[in-house]
Amino acid sequence: MAGEQKHLLRLALGTGDAGYAGTLVLILCATALAGLIVWFAPLESVSAIYMLPVLVAAIRYGTGPAIAAALLGAVMTSLFYPPLFSVLVFRPAQLIDLVTSLVVALTLGWLAGHLRTEMVKVREEERRTRQLYRLSSEIAGAVDVAAIYDIVAAHMADLFGREVALFVAADGRSWRTIRAPAAGAPVEALGRAVESFSTRTGDAGGPEVEVLALGSQAHWLLCNLSGPDRPKAVLAVSLGGADVGAADAVVAQARSILAEGEKSLERLGLTRALEERQLRQRSDALRDILIEAVSHELRTPVASILGSASVLLTAEPVASEPRLHDLSAAIGSEAARLDRRIQNLLDVTRIRAGALQPRFDELDLADIVNAALDSVAERLGGRKVVLALGRDLPFVRVDPVLVEQALVNILENAAKFAPDAAPIAISARLRDGKLAVEVRDEGPGLDRHEAERIFERFHRGERHADIAGGSGLGLTIAKTFVEANGGSIEPLSEGPGTGTTMRIWLPLAPERRLEEGDDD
Amino acid sequence: MMTEPRQQAGPLVLVVDDEPQIRRFLKAGFEMQGFRIAEAETAKQALELAVMRRPDLVMLDLGLPDADGASVLEALRGWFQGAVIVLSVRSSEEEKVALLEKGADDYVVKPFGMAELLARARVVLRRVAQPGAAEPVLRVGRLTVDLARRLVGLDGVPIVLSPKQFALLRVLGAHHGKVLTHRQLMKELWPQDPDEDVQYLRILMKKLRDKIEPDPARPAYLVTELAIGYRLRTQEQLDAVGYAPAMR
């Protein structure tokens, strides 16, 4: 890379000695050409031939060699004025030749120089773009922020040809070294300096880049890599001995690279995206582990208890002794209750983790209501359920499993609070382009304050503390499940002592015309 | 009720579950009802025992340590003629559908009681005992279905069904007590177009229920397994759920 830079520098400034040597060769060639032509066909003036070296030198080597070519050309032209091959005779035409050549040399030299500068700029731009492209594609392959900084550091080290160290402080934790400086470097002093530098750059208008002197022989260039969405990070480039002149050039270079790097990083939005992805992956993994562990570790023993109790119920000695039979039945139903509580906690975990993904289907609400009634049949005991679903209701578009669970929770809640003899009524009708499902109980009802709070997590009615049981999660889950289906739920009660109606609004399936079969 | 284990006579059940406590109560429960039991902890053991012992019924847990349930089912279904009941967990309806379509006869969701499991086991064992031949006359509650003579009655009063409605009842009756997925039913009823809209099936079912269910709003015989399919209940299954005596 250093070689390439030298080459570009030479292009920009014009030339070295090689340019003047080349010019001399060009003049000699032109002279030979002129001599040859004059030999065969006498010319009035050969000055036009000497324009060629000026032209070529201006374009190839720059203004200096072009002027040299003009001067040499003017001298050489005099060879070809009569008397031939004598330089000692001066004629006015020669002066004109000289002035013309000089004007051409200066104009072309300036033009060519300008072109070269443009070309150098374009090449430099291209090189930088290539580097940034390489940098960004390397960054895109990185799996975390630390890897990104490592790539940036490697890039800097490569660019400067110097030793580089990198310090990062993420999430308010203390500074740590991602890439340590070489052995023998004053790590502690450097670390302290990095910390104070970072604090100062945090202020508005603070320095982005700073040269730090640690003793007379160790200079470090500190570059701030922090950004609004990224952890604090500082890159330290070793500048070696006290060579302040060289340091200025490096500081300027570092500034421009940081500016470009910052632009490209922000444009790509990589750092934020990467962090979010990482966070999401971590929380997804944690959630899956938790759900898996809870499902298996808690529910398997419950399944064994429930199953074993159900076997005891069928055994002759237990079946024939009512007290033992009741105990076995209680073990079973309590295990089932425990399992439902665990299920509720899992559901809440899924909701909180944003892992609730409804699987929509279009079906008859009656199917969902009946499945819910089958699920709670045992828990409702002999309680009467009055169904008034209305014939020929349109289909709903919901996740049937989630809506069933919501209904189960609402029915359980109704059964818990309503007097044993009181029936629970389920009705459904079409209203305002939606299906309104109502579950009505004749329980203690709700006052206005309660109506607002019943869906809060772990809320349990204070007036009914005597009615034991429940985690306070059932209605929260019901509400979330219904809302996940694009529905809503509202508690209706005319006040304490008047019973409660839970009204669930569910979206209808889009109307479709299905051709009739052979059915009547 | 059978209290003495009949060691040799009853059907052989292969219990495949890696949880010893689950196997323990299944063993007790089945043996008390006169079944014989073989136990496997892993998929490998299960396949070996299935080959060696030729069980009548396999109770297959899906969470085995060495393979998933689907692969065990596939390996079995290549040659195994007996019944398979899958022990599943909640919230995996797609998995249940996939397993049913791969040849599982039924599923029970953990946690489950022994009575429910025995009812399912008897239904699927009946199918294994008389492959292809359904009961000639099905009776559930007040409903009678004479498959051979195409007669349907409620309390002995004949009911007229359309050909399609009878076809649906016949398919469910041929697998009496067993859940059939939407897709399996679509294949039977619209063989030329099984990928047709499942709404046709739902509407057909609604009309069939209107004719044969004592209370179509609360079907007792033709029950919906949410997100899975339908089942025509057997008398035993009907007795197991708490319906008003009017329907039994």
Q: What CATH number does residue A199 fall under?
A: 3.30.450
Cβ-defined contact of A517 to B226 (cutoff 8 Å): no
Cβ-defined contact of A315 to B32 (cutoff 8 Å): yes
Output the 3-class SS for chain B: CCCCCCCCCCCEEEEECCCHHHHHHHHHHHHHCCCEEEEECCHHHHHHHHHHHCCCEEEEECECCCCEHHHHHHHHHCCCCCEEEEEECCCCHHHHHHHHHCCCCEEEECCCCHHHHHHHHHHHHHHHHCCCCCCCEEEECCEEEECCCCEEEECCEECCCCHHHHHHHHHHHHCCCCEEEHHHHHHHHCCCCCCCCHHHHHHHHHHHHHHHCCCCCCCCCEEEECCCEEEECCHHHHHHCCCCHHHC
d(CA A375, CA A352): 25
Contacts of B18 (CB under 8 A, 6+ apart): B41, B42, B61, B63, B64, B65
Q: Burial level of A184, CB count in 10 A (0-12/13-18/19+)? A: exposed
Contact in structure between A360 and A399 (CB atoms under 8 Å): yes
| Residue A156 belongs to a domain | yes
Looking at the structure, do residues A163 and A253 belong to the same domain, yes or no? yes
Give the tens place of pLDDT for each residue, A121-156: 888 778 767 776 777 677 666 655 666 667 777 777
| Percent of chain A whose predicted confidence (pLDDT) is above 90 | 12
CATH code for the domain of A395:
3.30.565.10
Residue A116 confidence class, pLDDT cut points 50, 70, 90 = confident
Instruction: Report the b/e string of A235-252 with b at 16+ CB within 10 A.
Output: bbbbbeeeeeeebeebbe
More confident residue, A331 or A469: A331
More confident residue, A27 or A79: A27
Cβ-defined contact of A311 to B203 (cutoff 8 Å): no
Candidates A314, A339, A387; nearest CB to B1: A314
pLDDT of A308 strictly over 90: yes
* Listed residues A97, A112, A135: the one ending a domain: A135
Looking at the structure, do residues A126 and A160 belong to the same domain, yes or no? no
Contact in structure between A106 and A67 (CB atoms under 8 Å): yes
Highest mean pLDDT among A84-98, A381-395, B219-233: B219-233
Looking at the structure, do residues A115 and A175 belong to the same domain, yes or no? no
Highest mean pLDDT among A378-387, A408-417, A432-441: A432-441
Note down the domain range covering A427.
361-507
| Residue A515 belongs to a domain | no
Mean pLDDT within A50-79? 81
Mean pLDDT within A283-295? 73
Residue B163 confidence class, pLDDT cut points 50, 70, 90 = very high
Looking at the structure, do residues A98 and A125 belong to the same domain, yes or no? yes
- pLDDT score, position A515: 57
Looking at the structure, do residues A428 and A476 belong to the same domain, yes or no? yes
- pLDDT score, position A464: 57
* Cis peptide upstream of residue A83 (ω within 30 degrees of 0): yes
Looking at the structure, do residues A90 and A182 belong to the same domain, yes or no? no
Interface test mutation site (partner B, options A314, A407, A437, max chain B beta carbons within 10 A): A314
Which among B244, B165, B164, B240 is positioned nearest to B210, based on CA atoms? B165
User: What backbone torsions phi and psi does residue B131 show, to the nearest 5 degrees?
Assistant: -60, 135
Looking at the structure, do residues A235 and A331 belong to the same domain, yes or no? no
Looking at the structure, do residues A129 and A7 belong to the same domain, yes or no? yes
Which among A75, A311, A470 is positioned nearest to B112, based on CA atoms? A311
| Residue A68 belongs to a domain | yes
Residue A13 confidence class, pLDDT cut points 50, 70, 90 = very low
Candidates B29, B218, B241; nearest CB to A387: B218
- pLDDT score, position A435: 93
Domains and CATH numbers, chain B: 12-129 (3.40.50.2300), 137-247 (1.10.10.10)
| Residue A514 belongs to a domain | no
Give the tens place of pLDDT for each residue, B44-86: 999 999 999 999 999 999 888 888 878 899 999 888 989 999 9
Residue A507 confidence class, pLDDT cut points 50, 70, 90 = very high
Looking at the structure, do residues A439 and A489 belong to the same domain, yes or no? yes
d(CA A22, CA A239): 40
Report CA torsion sign: B128, B131, B136, B139: positive
Looking at the structure, do residues A264 and A179 belong to the same domain, yes or no? yes
Looking at the structure, do residues A122 and A152 belong to the same domain, yes or no? no
| Residue A80 belongs to a domain | yes
Task: Count the Cβ atoms, other than its own, within 10 Å of residue B214.
Answer: 17
| Residue A150 belongs to a domain | yes
pLDDT of B35 strictly over 60: yes
pLDDT of A115 strictly over 80: yes
Cβ-defined contact of A307 to B111 (cutoff 8 Å): yes
d(CA A352, CA A346): 10
| Percent of chain B whose predicted confidence (pLDDT) is above 70 | 90
Candidates A308, A314, A519; nearest CB to B207: A519
More confident residue, B12 or A514: B12
Cβ-defined contact of A311 to B32 (cutoff 8 Å): yes
Looking at the structure, do residues A158 and A261 belong to the same domain, yes or no? yes
Give the length of chain A. 520
- pLDDT score, position B55: 94
- pLDDT score, position B34: 92
- pLDDT score, position A148: 66
For chain A, what is the mean pLDDT? Answer: 77
For chain B, what is the mean pLDDT? Answer: 86
pLDDT of A11 strictly over 60: no
The residue type of A244 is V
| Residue A520 belongs to a domain | no
pTM: 0.60
- pLDDT score, position A516: 53
Contacts of B245 (CB under 8 A, 6+ apart): none
Domains of chain A: total = 4
| Residue A518 belongs to a domain | no
More confident residue, A417 or B117: B117
> For chains A and B, what is the number of CB pairs under 8 angstroms?
122
Highest mean pLDDT among A12-16, A31-35, A309-313: A309-313
* Listed residues A323, A352, A381: the one ending a domain: A352
Contact in structure between B36 and B80 (CB atoms under 8 Å): no
Interface test mutation site (partner A, options B109, B169, B226, max chain A beta carbons within 10 A): B226
Mean pLDDT within A48-64? 81
Give the tens place of pLDDT for each residue, A233-271: 788 877 776 555 566 666 766 776 676 666 655 655 656
